[in-house]
Amino acid sequence: MGERDVGKVGATASGADGRSPSAAPSRPVDPRHTGRHVVLLKDGGSRAAAERLRNATGLRMSMSSDFDGRVRGAHTATGEGVMFERLGVALLHGDPDQVRALAKGAGARKLIVEPERIVRVSGPWDDPLADSEAATWGLQATRVASSRFSGQGVRVAILDTGIDLQHPDFAGRAIVSQSFVAGGTVADVFGHGTQCAGVACGPLNPGRPPRYGVAPDAEIYVGKVVGDDGSGTDGDVLAGIDWAVGNGCAVICMALGTTARQGEPHSQVYEQVAARSLAAGSVLVAAAGNQSQRPDTIVPVDHPADCPSILSVGAVDPHLGIAVFSNGGRNPDGGEVDIAAPGVAILSCWPGPALYQAASGTSMAAPHVAGILALLAEADPAARGQALRALLLRAASGLPLPAGDVGAGLAQAPQ
């Protein structure tokens, strides 16, 4: 996989798990889709609602609260549906006729049905290092290096490709982890999740200087929602969000996405999920995407970062200019960038034996913002959900750049 293909949609859906042809969903017309569907229930995700879906589709329905740490990828079981109660969203594996029947049924007005998308991690690209001896340039630019806060007592979820639990920089840290990828463990083969966890929550004194982590005392929750090839699905991501919200994570970082076309509306399912997560006290942060080639081509913000209630993060370079690859606000109704953070030549940890690597991408910018949200949450214990999001945007430092590219400006840590 070429580095500049990362962040784009894969050609095939993940989860080729030996299904028989009769059990597999129809081949999706759009290569961004899996053939399954996500359904938002406007009146919530109760067991009674799951029973109504079962009656309407004939699919066996499970509840996400019935899963435990021994059941990985249970929501991808063939021929079934699963209800994520906290989100009020169901993932359905039915054939197109079953879904059409549901969309045209008596209760259709209470539902929003969308195709399940394939998502990929957003970045990274290799770059040379340009840091001081004490801290990365990103921690200096965001004032993290001088902050008196460390994220203590704040739960941060990293929904990505997993983590290297054996990395020496995480030794002694109590990390709660869960894989939502069918047949997989939380071990990070791809490397991206370890890197993002390091930027957001890496240690104050890493094994090899400089310091690269924003919130060294935050409580880390790692949900593996993207497979070892860097590809995942909406269903896996939604399962991770449901888990993170249920665990009381104040911040949920998703450095992943799929291309949004010019003029394409954002996902109503994800927008409602993000709004419900905010109401539950969890801020969703997502990478804006890396498909632009500035100044000639500026690509719209990726899904799901293009949802109004999800914090969309663009990337800036060491000169505080917009990164050449960073996507911009080209679609209306939520498709703008909300805030910017360092995303070029960012050092972080990496799975062994390499242990450290520098990279670029909005996927490096997003965990900067996630970590800063943890610092703000520690500084103001009453600020959660929408209040925490507003606090971040108010504290941003303005940049002489278009708001569509950097939103409120450069994210800043509390002092």
Q: At what angle do helices 234-246 and 268-279 cross, to 10 degrees?
A: 10
Of 391, 352, 347, the residue nearest 369 (C-alpha): 391
The SS3 of residue 392 is helix
**Residue 160: active-site member:** yes
Annotated catalytic residue: which of 127, 131, 160, 236?
160
How many residues comprise the chain?
A: 415
Chain-centre distance for alpha carbon 149: 24
Annotated catalytic residue: which of 64, 150, 282, 363?
363
Within 10 A of 18 (CB to CB), how many other CB atoms are there?
Answer: 6
Structure tokens at 102: 């549901």
Residue 300 is given by DSSP the state B
The SS3 of residue 176 is strand
Annotated catalytic residue: which of 192, 266, 303, 368?
192
The identity of residue 117, as a single letter, is R
**Residue 188: active-site member:** no
Structure tokens at 276: 């419900």
Chain-centre distance for alpha carbon 373: 15
Distances (CA, A) of 79 to 21, 33, 36, 58: 12, 18, 10, 10
Within 10 A of 117 (CB to CB), how many other CB atoms are there?
Answer: 28
Catalytic residues: 160, 192, 363
